Amino acid sequence: MKDSSFVRPGAALAQDQRESRARRSSSWRLWLLGRPLPTADAPHEAIGKTIGLAVFSSDALSSTAYATQEMLLILAFAGSAAFSLVFPISIAIVVLLALVTISYEQTIHAYPGGGGAYIVARDNLGDAAAQVAGAALLMDYILTVAVSMSSGVAQLVSAFPGMLPYRVAIAVVLVGLVMLINLRGVRESGSVVAVPTFFFIAIMYLTVGTALVRHFAGSLGAVVDPPPLHADAHVGAVTLFLLLHAFSSGTTALTGVEAISNGIPAFKEPRSRNAGITLLWMSVILGSLFLAISYLAVPIGAVPSEVETVISQLARTAFGGRGGLYLAAIGGTTLILVMAANTAYAGFPRLAALQAADGFLPRQLTYRGSRLVYSRGIAVLALVASALIWVFDASVTSLIPLYAIGVFLSFTLSQAGMARRWWKSGRLAPGGEVREKGSLVRHDPRWQLKMIVNATGALITAVVTVIFALTKFQDGAWVVILVIPALVAVFYAIHRHYRALARQLSLDAFGPPARVDRHRVILPISGVHRGVVAGLRYARALSEDVTAVYVSTDPEQAAAVQKKWGLWGAGVRLVVLGSPYRLLVEPIVGYIKEVAARRQPNEVITVVVPQFVPRRTWHNLLHAQTAIMLRLALLFERGIVITSVPYQVGEEGE
């Protein structure tokens, strides 16, 4: 006979749907993060092109502050005469920037839902390629925060050398500050970031513009009292490996270009159009500033140094000293480097949420916080980036070798995926379309041209990735080469867990659950008091078959408990377990396992754990928390139900 209480699929049930108005009302959260936003406000949190440029471009624009310096640092091993090669190398990098920009502009319109390289790789190259792209981008976002904060502090140290011993602490504090700004929401963080971003753009154009005018007028001169060049001028000649090494260091200027394609949903409608225009603005600003700084670094005799940055040397040469405009240039550069982390804070949580929704990262990363942002992803990013800053002592030179290889790997996968998308488009008849998970593929009459552009881009960025891996391998790139496969392995382990759990929880072919013929309740007690009596009352409401269990470490105390139980135990059987080794949890667990081993078919064992709860949280530190330890010990025992009966304890005298 089947259990008639089992509800079968399709059975009509009375249902009641209500909308809860509950929200967190903690005063400190309101002060720190702002008032909670309802889900309906999400469209109002979207941003326009101007704010979007600040939110998603600060990382790419900030790279102009250190990309030229990193190239000079490599060329210095062939002597200062090799510095003249920095501008031709910069031209090659800007050509690569143009190619990547064209590719991502196509991606923005093809995938208006965002996701960038991850979604493109998933829909066109498969899950394995998508997880590699995801691992590369997540790592790049983490390094973006670490590098930008370290570089920002380096600018401060250039102007105020006395701050050098505190650079790690300052960088970590700045990571926390930007985290709090982003926890307040996309629109609010964008408003905060917009001012320093546009100030940086203005002051940098003023700096390079002044320097160029003075250079062509013949009045610019060279850096006064440049920092010492530490590299040995006789190490070797200019070799192909050295040029490729310098090129790979300079390609850090392209980091952050993919951020806009990842964050399309943050833009106002029409999203794709606004995001595409913002991408073009960013690339023009980035390319022009990068070329100007690389061109001017040679005639002024700039020297790569940890003591004073190239930007600092250029600014004081252009403005003739450390006056107000110089301090404005350093301040603007520091701010943009700090705000560059904002791009990562906008991109990392969104990408992590996409991977979590696909089951490759913890599901908690898909939850939005009170301000409609992925607050858990933001917190994870801040913690990991702070750890990297501490490990690498906030040194940009030490962090750079880890940087950019993930970017170009994701560039390669994205463009290869787009090339295959155009190939699929060409296989469709005119007017035909196919719905994929991340987008709608339609026939494109220019599919061959677009496929060639993306395939060429994929080939070039793949070559750059290999160059970066080879030239930076000994400097630390080997860490990234090991970490990315390790992350992918973790992603698949998480995915396997979720799939296995889904199979075990599935209701497909699931019949009526086993009928409960007998319900046995075990009540562990530490003494006889009001909390235990409340637990006993609840246990007897579940079943008449109740057994109380007490662990004895002192015969006199055990006798007192037995006497008191005779008065308050309501006739329920009490089992006293002697514990010669003074253990408390283990004897109870052993007894419960013995009972469970002898249980009959369709018998349920419920362990009712009384627990008193003090009014003030810190009072818990004054108690042993045996109830919590007992629940944890029994949690993984199959077929045993654990129920906690809290007893709230008021203040003394109440």
- Return the pLDDT at 213: 95
Lowest mean pLDDT among 48-57, 237-246, 613-622: 613-622
Q: What is the pLDDT of residues 97-124, one digit of tens each?
A: 998 898 888 888 888 877 778 989 999 9
Among residues 557, 537, 561, which one has the least CA distance to residue 549?
A: 561
Mean pLDDT of 299-315: 87
Percent of the chain's residues with pLDDT above 90? 29
User: What pLDDT score was predicted for residue 37?
Assistant: 59
Mean pLDDT over 156-179 rounds to 85
Task: Please compute the mean of the pLDDT values over residues 584-605 and round it to a whole number.
Answer: 86
Average pLDDT over residues 634-653: 75
233: pLDDT strictly greater than 50: no
Query: DSSP secondary-structure letter at 267?
Result: B
Give the mean pLDDT of 273-277. Answer: 91
**172 strand-pairing partners:** none
Average pLDDT over residues 48-58: 85
Q: Which comes out higher in pLDDT, residue 21 or 296?
A: 296
* Closest by Cα among 538, 560, 558 to 606: 538
Q: Which of 60-69, 74-83, 511-520 has the lowest mean pLDDT?
A: 511-520
196 preceded by a cis bond (ω within 30 of 0): no
Provide the pLDDT for residue 223.
87
The residues, any chain, with a CB within 8 Å of residue 522's CB and separated by 6 or more, are: 546, 547, 548, 549, 591, 592, 595, 605, 606, 607, 608
Query: What confidence tier does 178 reach under pLDDT thresholds 50, 70, 90?
Result: confident
- So what's the pLDDT on residue 371? 66
Confidence of residue 390 (pLDDT cuts 50, 70, 90): very high
Confidence of residue 221 (pLDDT cuts 50, 70, 90): confident
Q: How confident is the model at residue 654 (pLDDT cuts 50, 70, 90)?
A: very low
Segment 602-607 shows an average pLDDT of 88
pTM above 0.85, yes or no: no
Q: By C-alpha distance, which of 292, 262, 260 is closest to 60?
A: 260
- More reliable by pLDDT, 596 or 360: 360
What pLDDT is recorded for position 225? Answer: 83
Amino acid sitting at position 272: S
312-348: pLDDT as tens digits: 999 999 998 888 999 999 888 888 877 777 778 878 8
The count of other CB atoms within 10 Å of the CB of residue 178 is 26
* Residue 577 reports pLDDT greater than 50: yes
Q: How far apart are CA 621 and CA 632, in angstroms?
A: 18
pLDDT score of 653: 40
Instruction: Report the alpha-carbon distance of residue 413 to residue 431 in Å, rounded.
Output: 28
According to DSSP, the β-strands at 440-442 and 433-435 are antiparallel
Q: Identify the pLDDT of residue 293.
A: 95
Indicate the pLDDT class of residue 82, thresholds 50, 70 and 90.
confident
Read off the pLDDT of each residue in 456-481 and give the average, rounded to a whole number: 84
pLDDT band at 420 (very low <50, low <70, confident <90, very high): very high
pLDDT of the residue at 93: 93
Residue 236 has pLDDT above 70, yes or no: no
pLDDT for res 54: 83
Delineate the domains of the chain, giving CATH numbers in brackets.
48-430+451-498 (1.20.1740.10), 518-649 (3.40.50.620)
What is the average pLDDT score of the chain?
A: 83
What is residue 343's predicted lDDT score, i.e. its pLDDT?
A: 79
